């Protein structure tokens, strides 16, 4: 009897814990499909409502979390902007797969940051440019609502384009190097073989070791002097001090 | 006129030297004879022919003078009578053994290799024609870019066994050399790389023997070909006997010792320096400061060495190809099918491109 009561109490406690965790999670991250924090007061109430609907819709379509965050932080440097909002992302406990538009009214800078699986869609940096180009006319008119709507629409388009193929990406980035190397390799192959066919059997005609002998009558080895030279080794880490500024595992489009 | 052929004592058929068996064989009765036996059988005949050579040579000299004056060239043709069928055999001035174009019997032109032109040594063929062709085809099998049909057996039906003349020199020298030797040691401490160089004065002196330095003795053939078909194992050379030429072609020298001496002496000089340098062991760098040598003994010999040779025409050009008749080492210019080679280069280029792109994925 006591055992039964204990088991029920444990099950109840476990269920309560699960419910508590879910509530806490929802409270911390907001909606699973989107998050909109307008700390800079950029959007009016109707715009906010429309944006929330669009963000929610985009989040449901893509399975990503769409985050729009406005602030008056006044961060000027692109690197600082990226690390600052990566830290913000970490603090807020957003979804793992997310895309975040940051509008810093203080510095008049914008940035698009991607996280988790979303990064695979943006490995080709030109995809950021698709969004940026669509946003630019609105930004020029200081129409943040229009720019944000463009961000949402174009991000969905990028999602529909699928993940960037690593091969295609490598081809875009390193194709010209591989092309040059392949031409060089082809030419070397051609001329080396041509030369091998032309001069076949020219070497190794005389074996000096087998056809010579020496009887030494004098063998002197006198030490004359010695000198030592010292060279400072330039380590690769010396030249790249400062390192990467990424935090929170996010990728940035670079401020714009 | 001063021609010889070696006949089978059993059936009077022509005897030829068989490289596989290292014996003389008769293709009619299949008789086989040791070289010493054939030499003994033909000794008297060779001597008689040699005696006749004086007359032959004076006739040749007259002919050479007349033709050279007429045509302004050192090359002239000489006609002989085949001892088997009586047909006229026309050869160049340096041919010493050939085959009658009518009865296909081997003919040795004794006058070309007697007296002052008598070679000191000969290396008999060790590689038969069949094996030479096999070696060649084997080698062609590994060459992907040969023109189609080039490596067919019919291409090599014309393969000829030729004894080419060479000068060989052995020298004993007293040599002395001084040099600066450097031992270099490198180590790393923290971010410092230290290089220590220890410098020595090195001296070596002694008696150096250099053997078997060779130079072709025939100017009409490509020097590259005649030099590159080496090395030969001179330990297998035997005293010259005319009978070894039976069944093959042979050339007599037209370059004298004085013609090749400067080239051979230059090689001797370089080799002697190299031999002394090789005794300066344990150094990373050796820079010669002084070197002097004195030749104590020098011996030049005139030798005939076996080569399987064929010429082929490709793109209007006649190209020689030679195979060492003792070791099978091949020398020559092989034709390249430009299309095949270009396709091969394209495949390599594509592979490198693909590997480059795949490798690029590691840096994304």
Identify the CATH class of A31-165+248-252. Answer: alpha beta
| Closest Cβ–Cβ partner in B188, B205, B344 for A218 | B205
Q: What is the pLDDT of residue A179?
A: 95
The answer to whether the CB atoms of B145 and A202 lie below 8 A apart is no
Paired tokens of A108: 């008049």
CA distance B7 to chain A (A): 37
Return the pLDDT at A18. Answer: 44
Comparing A50-59, A142-151, B239-248, B337-346, which segment has the lowest mean pLDDT?
B239-248
By C-alpha distance, which of A41, A35, A37, A34 is closest to A105?
A41
Say if residue B29 is preceded by a cis peptide, omega within 30 of 0: no
pLDDT at A17 over 50: no
**Does B61 have pLDDT greater than 70?**
no
Q: Hey, where are the domains in chain A?
A: 1-27, 31-165+248-252
pLDDT reported for residue B121: 93
Q: Please give the pLDDT value at position B317.
A: 76
How high is the mean pLDDT of chain A? 82
Spell out which residues of chain A touch residue B213, defining contact as CB-CB under 8 Å.
Answer: 206, 211
pLDDT at A63 over 80: yes
Distance in angstroms (rounded) separating the CA atoms of residues B5 and A114: 95
CB pairs under 8 A between A and B: 198
Among candidates B203, B214, B275 on the partner chain, residue whose Cβ is nearest the Cβ of A212: B275
Portion of chain B with pLDDT greater than 70, in percent: 86
Going by C-alpha positions, the residue among B129, B92, B142, B168 that lies closest to residue B307 is: B129
CB B210 within 8 A of CB B272: yes
Count CA atoms closer than 13 A to B33's CA, side-chain side.
Answer: 25
| Mean pLDDT, range A142-166, rounded to an integer | 91
Over residues B139-144, the mean pLDDT reads: 78
pLDDT over 80 at B217, yes or no: yes
Give dist(CA A73, CA B362) in Å, integer: 37
Neighbours of B30 (CB within 10 A): 11
Give residue A47's Cα distance to chain centre. 31
State how far the Cα of B141 lies from the Cα of B145, in Å rounded to an integer. Answer: 10
Which of B207, B214, B345 is the closest to A190 by Cβ?
Answer: B345
When pLDDT is cut at 50, 70 and 90, the band that residue A20 belongs to is very low
For B97-127, write each residue's pLDDT tens digit.
787 777 777 777 766 777 778 899 999 999 9
Judged by CB atoms closer than 8 Å, whether chains meet at B331 and A200 is answered as yes
Q: Residue holding tokens 């025409």?
A: B313
| Phi, psi (rounded to 5 degrees) for B143 | -105, 110
Q: How far apart are CA A137 and CA A130, in angstroms?
A: 13
* pLDDT tens by residue, A222-236: 999 999 999 988 765
């Amino acid at each position: 009897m006591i055992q039964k009561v204990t088991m029920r109490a444990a099950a109840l406690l476990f269920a309560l814990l699960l419910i508590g965790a879910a509530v806490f999670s929802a409270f911390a991250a907001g909606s699973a499909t989107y998050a909109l924090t307008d700390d800079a007061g950029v959007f009016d109430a109707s715009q906010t409502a429309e944006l929330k609907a669009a963000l929610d819709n985009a989040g449901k379509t893509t399975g990503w979390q769409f985050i729009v965050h406005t602030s008056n932080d006044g961060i000027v440097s692109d690197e600082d902007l990226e690390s600052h909002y990566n830290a913000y992302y970490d603090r807020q406990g957003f979804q793992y797969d997310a895309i975040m538009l940051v509008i810093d009214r203080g510095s008049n800078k914008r940035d698009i940051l991607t996280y988790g699986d979303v990064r695979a869609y943006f490995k080709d940096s030109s995809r950021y440019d698709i969004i940026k180009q669509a946003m630019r006319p609105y930004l020029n008119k200081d129409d943040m609502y229009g720019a944000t709507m463009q961000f949402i629409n174009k991000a969905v388009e990028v999602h529909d384009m699928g993940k960037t193929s690593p091969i295609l990406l490598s081809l875009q980035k390193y194709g010209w190097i591989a092309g040059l190397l392949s031409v060089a390799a082809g030419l070397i192959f051609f001329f080396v073989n041509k030369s091998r066919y032309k001069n076949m059997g020219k070497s190794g005609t005389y074996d000096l070791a087998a056809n010579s002998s020496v009887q030494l009558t004098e063998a002197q080895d006198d030490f004359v002097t010695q000198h030592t030279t010292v060279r400072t080794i330039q380590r690769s880490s010396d030249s790249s001090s400062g390192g990467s500024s990424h935090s929170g595992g996010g990728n940035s489009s670079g401020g714009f | 006129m001063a021609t010889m052929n070696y006949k089978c004592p059993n059936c009077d058929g022509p005897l030829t030297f068989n490289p596989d068996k290292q014996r003389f064989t008769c293709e009619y009765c299949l008789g086989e004879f040791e070289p010493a036996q054939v030499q003994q059988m033909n000794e008297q005949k060779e001597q008689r022919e040699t005696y006749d050579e004086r007359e032959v040579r004076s006739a040749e000299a007259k002919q050479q003078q007349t033709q050279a004056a007429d045509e302004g060239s050192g090359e002239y043709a000489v006609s002989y009578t085949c001892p088997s069928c009586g047909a006229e055999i026309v050869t160049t001035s340096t041919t010493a053994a050939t085959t009658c174009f009518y009865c296909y019997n081997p003919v040795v032109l004794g006058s070309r290799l007697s007296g002052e032109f008598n070679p000191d040594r000969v290396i008999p063929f060790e590689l038969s024609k069949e094996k030479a062709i096999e070696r060649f085809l084997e080698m062609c099998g590994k060459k992907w870019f040969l023109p189609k049909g080039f490596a067919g057996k019919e291409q090599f039906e014309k393969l000829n066994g030729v004894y080419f003349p060479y000068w060989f020199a052995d020298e004993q020298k007293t040599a002395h050399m001084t040099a600066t030797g450097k031992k270099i040691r490198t180590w790393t401490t923290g971010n410092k790389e230290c290089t220590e160089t220890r410098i020595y004065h090195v001296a070596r002196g002694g008696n150096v023997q250099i053997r078997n330095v060779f130079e072709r003795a025939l100017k009409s053939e490509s020097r590259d070909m005649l030099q590159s078909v080496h090395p030969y194992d001179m330990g297998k050379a035997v005293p010259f006997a005319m009978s070894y030429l039976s069944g093959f072609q042979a050339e007599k020298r037209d370059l004298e010792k004085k013609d090749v001496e400067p080239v051979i002496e230059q090689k001797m000089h370089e080799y002697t320096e190299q031999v002394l340098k090789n005794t300066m062991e344990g150094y990373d760098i050796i820079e010669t400061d002084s070197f002097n040598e004195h030749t104590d003994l020098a011996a030049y010999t005139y030798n005939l060495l076996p080569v399987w040779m064929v010429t082929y025409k490709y793109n209007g050009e006649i190209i020689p190809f030679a195979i060492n008749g003792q070791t099978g080492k091949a020398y020559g210019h092989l034709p390249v099918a430009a299309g095949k080679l270009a396709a091969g280069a394209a495949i390599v280029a594509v592979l490198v491109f693909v590997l480059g792109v795949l490798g690029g994925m590691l840096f994304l």
